[in-house]
Amino acid sequence: MFDLKKEWRDIFLVILLFWGLSFTAFVINHISNGALNSYGLLPRHVSHLSNIAFYPFIHGTWSHLIFNLTSFTLLALGVGVNGVARLINVILLCWLFGSISVWLFGRISYHVGLSGIIYGIWGYLLIYGLVLRSIMSLIITFLVLVYFSSMIWGVFPFNYLVSFESHLFGAIAGGFIGYFLGKKDREKLNCHYDQKP
């Protein structure tokens, strides 16, 4: 039997894990005068490829940290409507494909922060709702489109201090993931309706 209470508890635990890791990394980096900055993602440097596992948790300022975690929480809850397994899958896929793309095509500079995953979830929610076209998914897509509309400017290279590559490739990865998972869920939905007497 599906336990809705447990499902949402697990969703919040996933979100809290990202808060905990990000805050811990920020405090360590702050008291060590930026010692963790070298764990940022440095494109096309094989020695930094393993930093894919660490760089999302590194943030430069308190405002950067809080803004990212707040956006991450709201968007993650939108994905969480489809369960904790879907949330974990979307995060990991956006993280992996977005990060590899940044490593392959990004500027030779240290890329840090959770924004690549955030843009991945953003792209996922926008495309998933349009493909699935259920009432709930369309409502979520509409809310994301309205509330996070300014995020579109983050994919352009307006500020050299901002990793627009993480935003761009994260959004592209999330969009593709949203398309394929939305199509898959749409087929399941159609199959369910076809089986009704």
List C-alpha distances in Å: 125 to 29, 32, 164.
32, 37, 19
Residue 190 pLDDT greater than 90, yes or no: no
Query: Are the C-beta atoms of residues 52 and 111 closer than 8 Å to each other?
Result: no
The number of helix segments (H) and strand segments (E) in the chain equals 6, 0
Return d(Cα 98, Cα 195) in angstroms, integer: 38
Query: Quick one: DSSP state of residue 41?
Result: B
Number of Cβ atoms within 10 Å of the Cβ of 152: 14
Return d(Cα 185, Cα 132) in angstroms, integer: 7
pTM: 0.94
Query: Quick one: DSSP state of residue 113?
Result: S
Beta bridge partners of 41: 111
Mean residue pLDDT across the chain: 94
What are the two backbone dihedrals, phi and then psi, of residue 111, each rounded to the nearest 5 degrees? -105, 125
Instruction: Say what the pLDDT of residue 91 is.
Output: 98
Residue 187 pLDDT greater than 70, yes or no: yes
Q: Assign 40 to helix, strand or coil.
A: coil
Return d(Cα 111, Cα 152) in angstroms, integer: 19
Instruction: Say what the pLDDT of residue 135 is.
Output: 94
**What is the token pair recorded at 68?**
């990212």
Instruction: Say what the pLDDT of residue 13 is.
Output: 98
Instruction: Say what the pLDDT of residue 67 is.
Output: 96
Residue 102 pLDDT greater than 70, yes or no: yes
Residues 31-51 pLDDT 10s: 999 999 999 999 999 999 999
Which of these, 130, 54, 59, 131, lies nearest to 95 by C-alpha position? 54
Higher pLDDT, 192 or 181: 181
Residue 1 pLDDT greater than 80, yes or no: no
Residue 193 pLDDT greater than 80, yes or no: no
The mean per-residue pLDDT over the stretch 13-31 comes to 97
Round to the nearest angstrom and report the end-to-end CA distance of the chain: 24
Percent share of the chain, pLDDT over 70: 95
Q: What angle do the packed helices 62-80 and 115-132 form, to 10 degrees?
A: 20
